[in-house]
Every structure is written in C-alpha cells, then in structure tokens.
Amino acid sequence: MRVLRRGDAGPDVAEIRSTLAAMELLPPVTESGEYELFDTAMEHAVRAFQQRRGLITDGLVGPATYQALRGASFHLGSRPLAYMFAAPVHGDDVFALQERLTELGFDAGRPDGHFGAQTERALKTFQRDMRLVADGICGPATIRELHRLSSPRARGGRPVFLREQEQVRQAGPRLRGKRIVIDPGHGGEDLGVVAGGLREADIAWDLARRLEGRMKATGMEALISRGPNQSPSEGERAKFANEAGADLFLSLHNDRNPSPKAQGVASFHFGTGNGTTSTVGELLAGFIQRELAARTGMLDCRTHYKTWEIFTRTRCPAVRIEIGYLTNPEDSAKLADPAFRDVVAEGILVAVKRLYLLGEGDQPTGTFTFADVLAHELAKAE
C-alpha cells in the first residue's frame, strides 16, 4: 500500500477515517467530501492511535499503522479465527483470544495479536478440555466457552513473562553457552540514516562486530542476523533468531530528526501500553539504557515500550537500541570515533551480564568492566 499522509484524499483515506471515528478518535463526518480528506485533525488522530499502540508517532499511515488499524476493527467473536500459515490472521480479537487462553492456564505464547502455531496448540488443548471439536478454529461454540469461563487472578498475559523470568533465573549467572543474536540495522542498499559523512548501516555493522568479539571472548555464542551487504526484513531477522533458538535479541540502530538539537540514546522493548510487557525485555532495556547513558555521556532518552514487528515476531526477549542521532553534531562526532564504539559495545555486554547476575555481586552502573566480566566468568568456571 502507499503511505498516506496529510493532504491525501480518496477511498483509502475514507476507510482509515471511518476506523478512527469508530474508535472515537475522530468525530463522525457529515459531509461525504470531508470523509475522503486526510486533514490535520485526522493526522492528530493517527498520532494518538500510534502512541496508544506503541508505534512510531509520525502521523503517517504506512504498512505497520494500517495493519494495526485494521486489527483494531475486530473484537473477539466478530469473525472465526484459525491458524493460516500463508496469510497469518492478525487483530485485536487474536490478542484478546491469546490473553483469555493464558488467563485460563493455556500457553498461547506472547500476546501479540498474531494467530500462530502456538496459539493454535493452546486453542486445541482448550477445546479438548471443554469437550469441543478440537479443530483449532475459534468459532461461536469456542467463544461461548471462553466467555463462560473467567480467571481474574492473572491479567495481561503475565504468566508468559513470568516464564521468561524463570528461564533467565534457571540459566544462571554465567554467560558461557548463552546464545545472543546481534541485529545490526539496515544493510545492503538500505543505508538507514545518512548524515555528517556517516551511514547508519555501517555504524551498526561495526558495533555488531565489536560486540560479537566481546561476547565470544566470554564464552557466549554470538550470532549476527545479517551479512555486511544484506538487508533482511524485520520478519526475516525475527525468523533467524527463532530458528537459532536465541536467548536474547539485540537490535542496533541510530536515529535522525529534522532538528539538529535532537540527541541521545534510547532503548525499546515489547509492550502494548495496557499492562502487557516483556518483563525480561524491559529489564534488559533498562540495564542497557543506564549503562550507555553513564558510560557515553549521551543524553538519557529512557526506555520505551513498542509493538514493532521485531518485538512481536521474536520468541525470545528483544531490545532495540537507538544509539545517538546522526543528525546531531555532538552525537555524530562521538559515533565516528572507533574508541567510542568500543565503549558502547562494552556497555551493552555489561548490561547483558547484569541481566543474568540478577543482583548477584552487583556493582554501580558504569563501573563494571569487560575485564570484570571475564574475571567473573573464570571464577564461575573454577
């Protein structure tokens, strides 16, 4: 689909305006001509929707925003739901189904609004237990049983994320054997942000290699999601991590802004804004954010929840790090320095170590070093 923005008009705009009006983000339109115009009020409504859904709040309706808008038009029971490998079903009704199954003790996986194989398995188990036809299709009979049963003790898919935490605890404090996928953003013909003589794809690749070397030195299995001249889609990057059986997924990026004053480092993790969040992803994002802000002197732009595809499609905890603005002279000058990129790589490694330490032998933020990490690994090996 084409990206829609303020000033556009046509049936596509009318469809989106109708959806926003149904969500009470826009008032009903009385004149048919207005209905097909993407005006300032509609742009504000799109931004409000994007912020509510953990999307980039740019006021543009691209593929991700359009998919979320389409999904928001469905509620549980408004259509039959089933697993379709070729064209996966997505929407708020799928999200509600996943949460309801999880509340009832059936592991539907991370509530992400995508009807996948794990959701189908949980649904079939539920249907068998309820003496329904276990066909994996969420139709009227299944909906009736889901509405009949309730479990107020667990909300927001929390059991899924408690399992994440337990996996980290059981993995132990040692880094050896942990499998980490490092995802340098962009690549190939997609250069990402280009400013100040720097290219985001090149910086991300260089950071990935530096981080890979440090992780392998500690005994971790570090895998890079792409080659130097490749640019896989977010879905392909997530598939790589899933097939590798990754314990963590780290995506490296730089940012841009029309204002050269915009600067700083920010970290992102999966979350929907309604209480559903990856607790391990949020914890790791916080560790990374604090380490990088303390070590680099960059402005701390904090951690944020998002529903980006890279988060919804990866089965392991995932974090995306926006390391500075290439459109800011100060950030750009720092990122151009190889020694600075070493500092960033060390900070990310230390943050991963802190995640697995779970408070054991902790040290103040910014003081734990690569040498400390190696020493701790050697001590645990003895």
Q: Which tens digit of pLDDT belongs to each residue from 253-280?
A: 999 999 999 999 999 999 886 667 888 9
Phi, psi of 319 (to 5 degrees): -135, 140
pTM: 0.81
Distance, CA of 349 to CA of 343 (rounded, Å): 10
Give the whole-angstrom CA distance, residue 292 versus residue 223.
22
The reported pLDDT for the residue numbered 378 is 81
Which of 210, 185, 209 is closest to 199 using CA atoms? Answer: 185
Mean pLDDT per 10-residue interval, the chain, length 382 residues = 90 92 85 75 95 90 92 92 84 91 86 89 95 95 88 51 73 87 96 95 98 96 95 94 96 95 96 79 95 96 93 93 97 97 97 84 76 83 65
> Domain residue spans in the chain?
8-73, 81-157, 173-380
CATH 3.40.640.10 correct for 173-380:
no
Pairing relationship of beta strands 318-325 and 265-270 according to DSSP bridges: antiparallel
Render 63-107 in DSSP notation, one character per residue: HHHHHHHHHHT--TTSS-B---SSS--BSHHHHHHHHHHHHTT--
166: CB partners within 8 A, 6+ apart: none
Class of 81-157 in CATH: mainly alpha
Same fold, 8-73 and 81-157: yes
Q: Pick from 316, 321, 252, 253: which is nearest to 286 by CA?
A: 321
Q: Count other Cβ atoms within 10 Å, centred on residue 156.
A: 16
Residue 187 CA to residue 230 CA, distance in Å, equals 5
Q: Which CATH class, in words, describes the domain spanning 8-73?
A: mainly alpha
Give alpha helix (H) positions in 172-254: 200-217, 234-244
Chain segment 166-186, per-residue pLDDT in tens: 777 777 778 889 999 999 999
How far lies 292's CA from each of 121, 222, 297, in Å? 41, 20, 8
CB contact set of 181 (below 8 Å; sequence gap of 6+): 223, 224, 225, 240, 241, 244, 246, 248, 249, 250, 316
DSSP annotation of 353 reads H
